Structure 1
Amino acid sequence: MTRRRWLFGALALTVLVPAAARADEPARERLEGEKLDPLLAEIANARKSLKSLRANFTQERKMVLLATSVKSTGQLAFVAPDRLRWELFAPDDVIYWVGPEGLSYRTRSSKATLPSAGANVAKGLADLRALLGGDLGTLRERYVLVGSKGPNDVEIVGTAKDPTAAVRGFTLVLDKSLVVPVRARLLEGKTDTVDIAFSNATPNAPIDPKIMRP
């Protein structure tokens, strides 16, 4: 696995197979094509007031061929419109920053920046911004989107149009505010997944600008 692919997999709050429905939950209408437009517009309208977002998360990466599962904990900070800080706590001890200048990371022993001028990097950054606080409709350029809405949450599932894409699909679940992320899943390659569960999410939380840059 290349470092670039690992970076986007770790960050992507983003991506996969529909989450299993609860047994006691009523059937949810599948929304696609034009039927999905009103829901995407609702989310975009709700996010207009989002200036920042802070949340804790747990992350589990499953690599089927290696029969390995890696669990991590961390915290994200997002400042609209285009800055994200994604920190994995010990023992990972790594911080990622996403901004207009590119994607940067720092570990205990190294640091680097991947410039946003690269085509793959630019696409990844745009997708991350859209998933966390932007216009989800922009993802239609590279993904086929399907949604559903329940009494307490909404779910957006994306399947990559390019079957060779590093991220083959994603699932994002938002609470009924349409702003707070609940969980996400990424599908990498044919079998590997990253499952992320968010907690203590606080929209428009005060965030020190200094921590948003490497």
Structure 2
Amino acid sequence: MPRHGSRIRAVRPFPPAAPEGACSIAVKKTFRLRRFALLALLLLAPVAARGEEGGTPPDPEAEGLSPSTRLHALIDRVRFEQKRLATLSADFVQERESEFLAAPERSTGTFSYARPDRVRWEYESPKPISLVIAGEEMLTWYRDLGRAERVKVGRVSRQAFHYLNASGSLDSLMSYFSVSYTVPAGGEPYKLVLTPRYARIAKRLKSMTLWIDRQYYLPVGMRYVEPNGDSTEYRLDHLVRNEALPEDRFELRLPADVEVREVDLGGGGRANGS
């Protein structure tokens, strides 16, 4: 049920691919917003453990490791740190480049995560947008437009996890992507470049770059390049780990005059309204 008497209107699901044009640009921006919100959750949430959770953390910077062993150790260390991550908050910067933009588009705001499945992106500029994932529901409030969209994301997040979770097993990751990485000097983050091996993934994703923090071994940056060359990059700064977050951080209290649209991403008929 909508909070505080907000109106609900059932709408047709967005198409999986929209033609180019002014209208479709807005649709693609909405898709992009959801995609990155889900990816952030999937990159931070712990995956099923293999073996004991305790023990000595893997050290990808140990001397004498071969490149493949070092990469394996890095991914295992990310998994190890995920299991210890209860909350995370940070500032973020998003930069968007597209043939339809005269100049790169820059957005800023704050990011919050709480185990196991809650995320909030609070866009502050240039347009105020609040996006919250809690469980299998994503609620996006376009504050300047006076409307919100509610999406059931359970199936979609499982699909994204299957293909894009950077902390899955090395064998699983390598089966879908070619992975190259660099270890910059001076304590800069690890850089992993993922290139799809299969056409079904490549038609939606040209490449994805992840930056892994050298201190916390958590993703602090992500760049997503689409087949047409358009790209979106996120960077997290001023990370705060495992400090208590207010319970209402992951609630959106919508004013009564906000129209809420129920959006079905599955494409299986009309969305339910109530």
Match of 1:163 in 2: 202
User: What corresponds to 1:80 in structure 2?
Assistant: 115
Query: Could you say which residue in structure 1 is the equivalent of 2:181?
Result: 147
2:82–2:218 Cα contact (<8 Å) kept: no
In the TM superposition, 1:49-198 aligns within 5 A as: 49-108=84-143, 109-118=146-155, 120-124=156-160, 130=165, 135-137=167-169, 140=173, 142-150=176-184, 152=187, 153-160=189-196, 161=198, 162-165=201-204, 167-198=205-236
Q: Classify the secondary structure of the residue corresponding to 1:194.
A: strand
Q: Are 1:155 and 1:172, in contact at CA under 8 Å, matched by a contact in 2?
A: yes
Match of 1:205 in 2: 243
Alignment pair present for 1:5 and 2:31 = yes
On the 8 A contact 2:107/2:123 being kept in 1, the answer is yes
1:80–1:146 CA distance, 2 compared to 1 (3 A): farther
Identity of aligned residues (%): 19
Conserved 8 A contact 1:55-1:201: yes
CA contact (8 A) 2:213 2:220 kept: yes
CA contact (8 A) 2:93 2:234 kept: yes
> Is residue 77–residue 85 contact of structure 1 (8 Å, CA) maintained in 2?
yes
What is the aligned residue count?
A: 193
Unaligned stretches of 5+ residues in structure 2:
1-24, 42-64, 253-274
TM-score relative to the length of structure 2? 0.60
In structure 1, the residue corresponding to 2:202 is in which secondary structure? coil
- CA offsets 1:2-55 (integer angstroms, 9 cap, x no match): 3552323554559xxxxxxxxxxxxxx9945x6632221122112221111100
Partner-residue secondary structure (3-state), 1:191: coil
Q: TM-score, length-normalised on structure 1?
A: 0.74
Q: What residue identity is the alignment partner of 2:113?
A: F
Structure with greater Cα Rg: 2
For the 8 Å contact 1:104–1:112, the answer to whether it is kept is yes
> Is contact 1:50–1:204 with CA below 8 Å preserved after alignment?
yes
Aligned-residue CA RMSD (Å)? 3.1
Larger strand fraction of residues: 1
